[in-house]
Every structure is written in structure tokens, then in C-alpha cells.
Structure 1
Amino acid sequence: MALFVCMGTHIYAASLSEVLEARGFVAVNRMDTTIKVRLMYAAPDNFTEVTLYDDIRDAYLHPDAAKALLKAQEELHKLFPSYNLLVKDAARPMSVQRRMFSAVQGTPKTNYVANPSKGGGLHNYGLAVDITIVDENGNELAMGTPVDHLGSEANIDKEERMVRNGVISETEHQNRLLLRRVMTAAGFKPLRTEWWHFNFVSKRQAQAAYKLLDF
């Protein structure tokens, strides 16, 4: 996704990475190369069935959130030295949010996408991350559902009941608890409906102290 940037009297097409870096955002996987990245919207095999990023492979965050994610990785390594965090989505410009919302508008999937006309969500400030854990072979730990699963199986508030009912296994439950443990230890807050989604601040705090990625 090329963005057109004006530099003096010249206009040139900048990559999404260049624009994010120019605004002070950082690639967290460059700060700590043990943090892995597989951006799920860089290919069409996601719930929108559309490729939303075509020129970015790194996971960008606001520096405040990036520092916290480094701490989460440290917390994970204290418990399981061979495990690593795997980022599936991070900073998301509003232009991408609009494309995402448009791709699902008029379908039941709309309920799972922050409406850009209402200011979007924390991804649009670079203050949220979709994340999971991989083992020493790079395989994602079983969490009961894939990242971006649309359904109650992804909720975190009824996990014990889901274990009792056989919806998720105890191992999958423990893996979710591990992810929440290391992320919350670093200052992130989980989202009730998505085990993989973590916010660094509240929407109100983001609006008061941070800038929306409105490009």
C-alpha cells in the first residue's frame, strides 16, 4: 500500500513502513529479534478474505507499547526460555481500517471490526496488538481457536466452563492463561472477546495523549 508524501515541491510514493517510521513508530521485532511476526492481513487467508498490507512485514507500535511488549517477551522467557511471542497485527492506519470495515460491511462480521466512522480502535493508535505464542520450532501454541476466530469460543470470560464442556482443552486454557500472564505483567490489558487482543491503554487515554494514525 503506497502512500503519497509531499517533500517540499516533490511528491513521492512512500511505503507504509516509511510513513510509520517518519511518525516515530518502531518495528518491535527489530528492537528484539526474538519476537516473531506473521502479519495475518498481509495475505488473504484472514477473516476479511482480503490482503490489507502488501508492503509491510514488520510489526510497528508506538514506542510506549513497543517497550511494554519487550517486557512481555522477557517475562515469557523467564518462564519458558524456548518460547517466543508472535505478533499477528499491530499498528493499523485508518486507511487500512476503512478497507477492513468495507470488506465486511453488510455481513455478520461487521460486529467484529471497529467502525472507522466512530474513531476506530487502539490498533489505529499503534497501542494494541494481536498476539500469540510459538514454541521452539515456531509452531503456535494451541489456544482453542485460531487468531481472529469469530465466535464465543475466543472469549476469555467463560474459559473454565468451555473446558468443562469440551469446547477448549485444559492445555489450551493454560496456554491462554500464560499469554495473559506475560502480557498483563508488562502492562497490557486483555479484551474479553478475543484471547489474542491486548490494549496498552484505554480508548479514552489514547484519544487524550496519543495521535490517531489517520492516513
Structure 2
Amino acid sequence: MIGKNFVKLITIVLIIHWGCSNKVSSEKFDSDSELEDVDFDSREENQPLAEVEEIGDLEQSLIEAGLVDVAKVIEGVFVDLKYSTTDNFFGIDVYGDLERCYLQPVVAEMLHKAHAHLQSKYSELTFLIYDGVRPLSVQQILWDNLQKPDSIKPLYVADPKIGGLHNYAVAVDLTLADKNTGLPLDLGTEYDYFGYPAYPDREDQMLREGKITKDHIANRKILREAMAAGGFTGIGSEWWHFNAFSRKAAAEKFDLIK
């Protein structure tokens, strides 16, 4: 027969074993509970790789030419490149996947100053940019697709053999927009409208003839005042077009963007 002392010994061993096992299980449970509180997704090694933004050949060439993305210089502006759509005078998309407005760095800073002036007087407004740099390769496409005699084509688009201020990246086309919605204000005509109602030089006449209103002229004056504060000058035939430099100064300071 097994002695009573032996039975007691076995019983003690079993009790100790059970206690240790229970402690280990309890510790494991507590450890697992703590692990559940750890956000493993926040660990650097588990972070998803940032999506690499694809840049098209045209945009890459603008970057390599030293131009800057205006939206990265000026906070709160809107960009709707009309020549990256068919909503333009020519009815063709010539920019393809380019959707950002690029300008010479100094011109972008001038536009930043103009925007600051606008915001200081009309905090509810911002700029909506329609066009900036226009490479000569694109200018050639527009020239070739314009169904007009060569003698009058310069009235609509600069001759690519000579180049215009858009080709130097020192001209910008833009309007005023609601800062919250991005919707453009009514300045009397659509962008790229070729006719007297779009001419700043003809505003008094167009007002008398009922082609535009006093509100249209008032909005245009707000835009012109802001752009002038940045050092830009307008032209007589397009309320949306502003130049940072003369053609002579542009040619001395910059290369044509090809």
C-alpha cells in the first residue's frame, strides 16, 4: 500500500503545480490584454508606404525648367486649367494630365502679394487661376488649330515663332472666386471670350449698350486692383489676363519654356 506520507507529498506537489500554472495563465492573459491595447498599425514598420504621386512628362519638364506650382506658394487659391479641358476658345485639351499652374518663382511671389492684398480687403474672396505657363510646344498646337488667316492669328494667340508672355511663364489668366466654394464671380463674360464685352478698354461703351453691368465692372476693378498691388499689368482686350513683365524684360530675364 502507498503510505499516507507519500500521498500527502503527491497532493502538495499537485497543489503547487496547479498554482504555478494558474499564475502563468493569469500572467499570459494580462499580457494579452495589454497587447490588445497596443496600436500595431501605428508602428513605423507597419505604416503603409506613401502613395507616390505620378508626374507627367509635360509637368516634369516645367519643374526641370525651374518653375513652381502656384498652389504650393499661395494657400487657398483654386486652379482650373482651361487648356487641360475642352472648355476653352479652341475646344481642345492641349495640356493632357497637367492640372497645376506653373509660373516663374518671382511671378508666383508677385501673385502671392496680389492675393494677400485681395484677402486684406475682401477676405471672402480668392483667386481662381485658368492658365499660367504655356510651353511653346502647346502654343504651336493652338496656332495650328486656329481656323483664322495667319495675318490675324496674333489677335487670338501669340505666334510660337516669337513667343508670348505665357511662354515665358510670366503671364497668368485668372478671376475672382468665393473662398469657400471656389465658384467664380460674374465678371461679365466667360474666360476666353473674344469680343468687346471682355475688353477692359471698352467697358464704358459695353455698359452703355447693356452688354455688361456695373456689378461686372466693379468685380473687374477688384481683380485689377489686387493684381496691380502685386506688380501686374492688364491688357485692353482680356479682363482675365495679367503680365508680370514686359516682353522685353521677360526676354532679358527668362528663357522661353519649350
Q: TM-score, normalised by structure 2?
A: 0.75
Matched, 1:66 2:108: yes
Equivalent-residue separation in structure 1 for 2:62 and 2:90 (angstroms):
23
Q: Deviations over 1:102-152 (max 9, x none)?
A: 1104369833111112x1210000000001010132211111111110111
Matched, 1:129 2:172: yes
Equivalent-residue separation in structure 1 for 2:107 and 2:242 (angstroms):
10
Q: Which residue does the alignment assign to 1:39?
A: 81
Number of aligned residue pairs: give it: 201
SS at match of 1:158: helix
Q: Which residue does the alignment assign to 2:99?
A: 57
Structure 1 unaligned residues grouped into runs of 5+: 1-12
Q: CA deviation at 1:158?
A: 2.2
Between 13-22 and 125-134, report the one with greater CA deviation: 13-22
Equivalent-residue separation in structure 2 for 1:196 and 1:32 (angstroms):
19
Q: CA deviation at 1:16?
A: 1.4
Instruction: Provide the identity percentage.
Output: 37
CA contact (8 A) 1:15 1:55 kept: no
Q: Which residue does the alignment assign to 2:211?
A: 167
Greater CA radius of gyration, 1 or 2? 2
Q: Which residue does the alignment assign to 1:200?
A: 244
Higher helix share: 2
Q: Which residue does the alignment assign to 1:209?
A: 253
Q: Which residue does the alignment assign to 1:81?
A: 123
Equivalent-residue separation in structure 2 for 1:153 and 1:31 (angstroms):
33
**What code does the residue aligned with 2:90 have?**
T
Structure 2 unaligned residues grouped into runs of 5+: 1-54
Q: CA deviation at 1:45?
A: 2.0
Q: CA deviation at 1:15?
A: 1.7
Equivalent-residue separation in structure 2 for 1:107 and 1:74 (angstroms):
42
SS at match of 2:184: coil
RMSD: 1.6
CA contact (8 A) 2:56 2:97 kept: no
Between 99-108 and 185-194, report the one with greater CA deviation: 99-108
Equivalent-residue separation in structure 1 for 2:120 and 2:209 (angstroms):
32
**What code does the residue aligned with 1:58 have?**
R
Equivalent-residue separation in structure 2 for 1:49 and 1:85 (angstroms):
24
CA contact (8 A) 2:88 2:191 kept: no
Out of 10, 15, 38, the residue aligned to residue 57 of structure 2 is 15
Q: Which residue does the alignment assign to 1:179?
A: 223
SS at match of 2:176: strand
Q: Deviation above 4 Å: which 4+ runs of structure 1?
A: none
Equivalent-residue separation in structure 2 for 1:156 and 1:188 (angstroms):
15
Q: CA deviation at 1:53?
A: 0.6
Q: Which residue does the alignment assign to 1:4?
A: none
Higher strand share: 1
